[in-house]
Structure 1
Amino acid sequence: MARLNASELAHRLARQAEAVCRHYLSNGRKQGNYWQVGDVRNTPGRSMFVRLNGPETGKGAAGKWTDAQSGEHGDLLDVIGESLGLIDFADIAEEARRFLSLPHPESVPNSRRSRTPPAPSGSTEAARRLWRMTQPLTGSLAEAYLRIRGIADLRGTANLRFHPNCYWRPEGDGPTETWPAMIAAVTGLDGKITGAHRTWLHRDGSGKAPVYPPRKAMGDLLGNAVRFGEVQDVMAAGEGIETILSLRQALPRMPMASALSAGHLSAILFPPHLRRLYIVRDNDPAGDAARDSLVDRTIGAGIEAITLSPMLGDFNDDLVSFGLEALRAQIRVQIAPEDVSRFMVPLP
């Protein structure tokens, strides 16, 4: 079969809407002109409706679906992706092409077809698939959000990207929602992606989305980090992404890493040639514990440890409250004298 684009694939699937539903939403059933099921992930129930007949486009189009409980809606490509746990559109499109080349499910009863295996939820592979679906940070809502947080210089932030409709699922029961999100790639010392971090954003970029928690990480995180810059002999490491990005406004040339949490900060892996580590402390008991643990590890590894402490809760609080020049003055007296001229010089 010729390789079709997304719109053509969706139209082809819509012409076989009932067959698609029987195959991918097998826990549902036909009700008049609709296929009824619990949700797009093939949960048993009755809140989601897929239109089985209608025009190719516009109001009442075949293949369009709505979940009355969650408010989600979409087409049959979404059904394929969500029912199989696929994140990367290339995988969804390949599965759609495979389906369109096979007999209809109802003509081969009780058949078992091979499906593209879903990536386990929260796995490294799921994180990599999510990363492949992202868009550049420049010009996005994520960039607007960071600027509101005082983070204007985003050079050297290739590990940050944007997803316009990232799924958010509550910790317990509750509907799945979609929100814009800033996506960060978690990498090992070799630069390979091991995980991803999501910060869901308000739809106008003015702040975090009104969901709890507004941040989640997935994949292999222990020892790894969201990294900015190539480490030679000096680096800084802290917890949150915005904390580290704030510090980079004052020290734009210093390589840095966000470990995403106090527990992961205490376990961060050291690059092989590291001789001085700046520990970016959050001003709370967890931050103190992470600092103490990390100091012990650096001493054991023969690495010099210097703690950088904020005036408020973290360095993003300081940047927003006092401004960049005050943050620079605050940091200047905390770092080694030789690192002032080396790392505080603005990038060209």
Structure 2
Amino acid sequence: MCRHYLSKGKREGRYWLVGDVRNTPGRSMFVRLTGPESGKGAAGKWTDAASAEHGDLLDVIRARCGLVDFRQVADEARSFLSLPRPEPDPPPKSRPGKAPSGSPEAARRLFAMAQPIGRTIVETHLRNRAITALHETGSLRFHPRCYYRPEGHGPTETWPAMIAAVTDLGGVQTGAHRTWLLPDGSDKAPVDTPRRAMGHLLGHGVRFGVADDILAAGEGIETVLSARSGLPRMPMMAALSAAHLSAILFPASLRRLYIVRDSDPAGDGARDSLVERARGVGIEAAVLSPVRGDFNEDLRQRGIDAVRAALRVQIAPEDVARFMEE
């Protein structure tokens, strides 16, 4: 599978090395070639050291083929392995009223159980990150005791969390993203993976404002909200990772896409892929670049006035008055 889907990489010992999940030349992503069938250290598991993305071979297929839902991914995997299409499984037995773990329905229920972020530690956390423009953030909520299950056999913990709704182009929630926080909101919780997503993510995102002809899209929630501090009226969305950013779906009315770039190899790859996709369907694509690593770093270290000044010269002149006015 690595030779087929990640053909620009090569084998070194027990790993297949390549630039990233989009098959960019390089060495930052490594796929484990040997190991148990499942669990920690399983064969097929991969990690991108540059972006901290990780997953399995189905995630590779999803990203490389630009697929949206799991059925398409499974069909591609069966085709590669020359396997027949299986008979439909019977519906899973579950306790009445309990949604399958990690499903879109479980994501919707989790978001419904959370509360608005005003005067909660989510607001405290964002303000500690210098993000004060919190208008149109209905896609973010606060959960005071969100379960965190460590990988392996560690006990389940509970931490406060920021819950973000992932929605499709029609506004239907397809997933959720959790960021576990310290009880005072001063930082993320001291767990191995303080950010996790659930549900169907590919092509979708966490949305701030309603997009029509103009949209700005980036990777992380904090990065996007930092850019929106300087462009308070521009609709934006966070795709939650570089791989998902490169695969976002475009609104039918979109004519100009701004790409909120992260200054790292994964961000560069997502930028290039998204520019190519947008221009291929007649959408003008422009890149918004931070001075430092990302726009939240700029906002914290350089201040809102410097962020506004940097964004002003990167957007189209007609968009300055439209989106920069408070």
Q: What TM-score do you get using the length of structure 2 for normalisation?
A: 0.70
CA distance, structure 1, for counterparts of residue 185 and residue 95 of structure 2: 38
Decide which of 186, 190, 194 is 1:206's aligned counterpart.
186
User: Quick one: distance in 2 between partners of 1:258 and 1:301?
Assistant: 21
Deviations 1:37-94 (A, max 9, x none): xxxxxxxxxxxxxxxxxxxxxxxxxxxxxxxxxxxxxxxxxxxxxxxxxxxxxxxxxx
**Residue in 2 that maps onto 1:167:** 147
For 2:255, the equivalent position in structure 1 comes to 275
Report matched runs for 1:1-348 at 5 Å: 115-116=95-96, 118-346=98-326
SS in 1 for 2:203: coil
* Percent of matched pairs sharing the same residue: 68
CA distance in structure 1 between the partners assigned to 2:95 and 2:259 by the alignment: 47
Question: Which secondary structure state, in structure 1, belongs to the residue aligned with residue 308 of structure 2?
Answer: helix
* Letter matched to residue 271 of structure 2: R
SS of corresponding position for 1:297: helix
Task: Supply the distance in 2 between the matched residues of 1:171 and 1:252 (Cα, whole angstroms).
Answer: 39
Structure 2 unaligned spans of 5+: 1-92
Gaps of 5+ in 1: 1-112
Give 2:278's aligned amino acid.
Answer: T
Give the CA deviation at 1:114.
8.7
Which protein has greater RCO, CA pairs closer than 8 Å, 6+ apart? 2
Report if the CA contact (8 A) 2:94-2:100 is conserved. no
- How far apart in 2 are the matches of 1:338 and 1:143? 32
Structure 2 CA distance for aligned equivalents of residues 181 and 331 of structure 1:
31
The one-letter amino acid paired with 2:213 is D
SS of the equivalent of 1:257 reads strand
CA distance in 2, matches of 1:151, 1:316: 8
Moved over 6 A (4+): none
Q: Whole-Å Cα distance in 2 between the matches of residues 338 and 117 of structure 1?
A: 51
- Deviations for 1:279-303, whole angstroms, at most 9, x for unmatched residues? 1111100000000100110011100
In 1, the alpha carbon distance for the partners of 2:194 and 2:181 equals 8
The higher radius of gyration belongs to 1
How far off is 1:313 after superposition? 1.3
What does residue 61 of structure 1 align with? none
Q: Secondary structure at the match of 1:263?
A: helix
Counterparts of 1:220 and 1:287 in 2: how far apart (Å)?
A: 22
Q: What is the distance in 1 between the residues matched to 2:95 and 2:236?
A: 41
Distance in 2, Cα, partners of 1:298 & 1:245: 22
Q: For the structure 1 residues 191 and 114, does the alpha-carbon distance in structure 2 shift closer, same or farther, using more than 3 Å as the test?
A: closer
TM-score (norm 1): 0.66
Residue 221 to residue 114, structure 1, CA distance change in 2 (3 Å):
closer
Instruction: Report the RMSD for the aligned CA atoms in angstroms.
Output: 1.2
Give the total of aligned pairs.
234
